[in-house]
Structure 1
Amino acid sequence: MAELDHTLQMLKELTDANGIPGNEREARDVMRKFIEPLADEITTDNLGSLIAKKQGSQEGPKIMIAGHLDEIGFMVTSIDDKGFVKFQTVGGWWEQVMLAQRVTIMTRKGNVPGVIGSKPPHILSPEARKKPVDKKDMFIDIGATSKEEAMEFGVRPGDSIVPVCEFTVMKNEKMLMAKAWDNRIGCAIAIEVLRQLKDVDHPNTVYGVGTVQEEVGLRGARTAAHLIKPDIGFGVDVGIAADTPGVSEKEGLGKMGKGPQIIMYDASMVAHKGLRDFVTDTADEHNIPYQFDAMAGGGTDSGAIHLTANGVPALSITIATRYIHTHAAILHRDDFENAVKLIVEVIKKLDQDTVNKIIFE
């Protein structure tokens, strides 16, 4: 791989880090490394969400930008007598994308490589080939010959299991492939927003947050928002890229490279109309591309943030990403950069009077 610029190096370290819900330490350490020099204060809540505070020219309103640290993965539930590892999913998986994929088991003794086992097609009946294998019947092969040997490797119930996919800049260098874009790209947006505000006067206090346990119920966003008590909240996450063969406009509108997605509706939240209009007006003013989208299912950290205390105007801004909730996803660097640019321009204008107007008009 060619030498990476600062941004690509950050994205590589964020996505190569391993961290499923409940075990986000590696990803949190990477986010801390990049955001700490840009913040006035770093704290964590009691669940482990990272909170980087940057004070502007006024105490002013509190603006929360939340990307979640966790990625989907698996957890060891048991080891059979032959040394094969049984597991459960942590986060949303589709069986079709799981078989024969490489994984890493994170143990106290270090990482153990493995693969989700599968039968060769030679021994499958025509009927069996057509049916997906149930998650409950899957196992991970770590090369152990017995339960005792697997335990000697350090594997034990409760250990985290993560997909394997090294960060890759594709031949079209705007296209970036990695595991865990969902949602290390949100963490990267929070970091980069603070970087671009480093020597800028902004009339508010900005919190760049890496939340935990989003994939299992927006849990870290709830506790972090309770600690911060924000006036405005942005959940930054991946969205659906509906620009591949076989995906219709009925299933999604998002296209890679066409700007950040403004999410009007998802299963966790209806976007705050005043904030949505303020953000899109700002984008129009600065000629920043964006696209609207809505999702019948799923949600982002905004879903928890907007229900904090007596309510927080919130909006989800997402990056159209192909193949999310699999081992390898792809997104477009321009969308990341335009999302950062948009949020920075919005923050520059969010003084107390503007926030009051968004809330009360």
Structure 2
Amino acid sequence: MDMEQLDLFKKLTHCNAVAGFERPMTQLMKDYLEPISDEIVTDNTGSIFGKKGQGRHSIMLAGHLDEIGFIVTAITEDGFIRFTNLGYWWANVMLSQKVTITGSKGDIRGVIGGKPPHVLGVKEKELAAEVSNMFIDIGVNNRQEALDAGVRVGDPVTPYSEFEVMTNPDYLLAKAWDNRFGCALAIEALRDNPDPNITIYSGAVTQEETLSRGAKTAAHKVKPSLAIALDVGICAKTPGMTGNANMGDGPIIVLVDAWHIGHPTFRQFVTDIAEKHGINIQFDYLTGGYTDAGHIAQSFDGIPAITMGVPTRYIHSNVSMMNRQDYNSALKLLNAVLNELTDDIVDQIIEQTY
């Protein structure tokens, strides 16, 4: 078992960095990218990339730094914390989950609470799983105790979950695979390609979970010729689910999402590389979600972009599960793509003559 890779996964997923509060992840990515980069490139929101190579064309590999979470909106006189979402949550998965408030005096553990079912009337049961009816309990007696602990309105709140290797050691449980998966992939791909034929900008952007805002500023900063958004996909291999992507069957190439149609010529190039190297890939689509590829593709005169991911269980909750073999197959595919891209091939993809 590659313990160095597991340590990378653990450090990235343990980092608390919800949308709009990505500074800890920006610094952690810098620590990993700086030793393997010719140059570090950042924008004013905190997006960060390691640059390598001197090609006429460039490719941007973009994970996203942020994870879904919450922000403190009020503190009641009894010391309970009111909050609202940063990113999309299904309220049913939130009750009784542990969270971490990053306060002025350090991290504060809390739990999302609500009324117990014993005291709910019929109408109340229908409304129980609404964020407006929830609160965070940090175990204090009143508002002043919460303030003394360092809680303030505007503090970020992060889901709490430990990184764990499951019964089958290929299955890894953690918070924030969406999208520390993409951050890890960006780091390892840059490390594995010391002398690329084209210029690589590999890293991650801010605020994907809040309408993909960081992708706009990052694309403006990097100005890539091509781009691959590195993000998780939905796993259909659980009871009651149907779909195209199963854990253990390889990486996903996204055909279309709510904001973006994968660039057909670039997608065909990647598909051909996968076939050439015997890498099984899956194709999926998102009718109600998006990745950073959409805003990147709409930047400047248009940037050919696709999304590469892996099937992941329980995304947009406090914990999710990824298959390590899917991750390693995605890394193998990404490395093969980077190895075979040349300035001339990028010209052909842009001109759609590949």
TM class by shorter-chain length? over 0.9
Larger deviation: 211-220 or 120-129? 120-129
The alignment status of 1:284 with 2:275, answered yes or no, reads: yes
Q: Aligned residue pairs: how many?
A: 352
**One of 43, 46, 67 as aligned partner of 2:44:** 46
Matches of 2:257 and 2:80 in 1, distance apart? Answer: 39
TM-score (norm 2): 0.97
Shift of 1:4: 6.9
The alignment status of 1:264 with 2:260, answered yes or no, reads: no
Matches of 1:119 and 1:261 in 2, distance apart? Answer: 41
**Contact kept in structure 1, 2:253 and 2:284, CA below 8 Å:** yes
Show the 5 A alignment for 1:1-361: 5-55=3-53, 58-125=54-121, 128-129=124-125, 132-198=128-194, 201-248=195-242, 252-360=243-351, 361=353
Matches of 1:242 and 1:29 in 2, distance apart? Answer: 34
**Contact kept in structure 1, 2:140 and 2:146, CA below 8 Å:** yes
1:236-290 CA distance string (max 9 Å, x none): 0000001100112xxx211001111010000110000000000000000000111
Matches of 1:4 and 1:119 in 2, distance apart? Answer: 45
User: Quick one: structure 1 residues 132 and 82, their matched pair in 2 at CA, closer, same or farther if it must change by over 3 Å?
Assistant: closer
AA matched with 1:67 = G
Q: Which runs of 5+ in 2 are unaligned?
A: none
Matches of 1:14 and 1:226 in 2, distance apart? Answer: 26
Tell me how large the CA RMSD over aligned residues is: 1.4
Q: Could you say what secondary structure the match of 2:9 adopts? A: helix
1:153-193 CA distance string (max 9 Å, x none): 11111100000001111110000000000000000000010
Shift of 1:133: 2.1
AA matched with 1:321 = T
Q: Could you say what secondary structure the match of 2:310 adopts? A: strand
AA matched with 1:244 = T
Shift of 1:128: 4.4
- Overall identity of the aligned pairs, in %: 46
**Contact kept in structure 2, 1:233 and 1:305, CA below 8 Å:** yes
**Contact kept in structure 2, 1:95 and 1:132, CA below 8 Å:** no
Q: Could you say what secondary structure the match of 1:269 adopts? A: coil
**Contact kept in structure 1, 2:165 and 2:171, CA below 8 Å:** yes
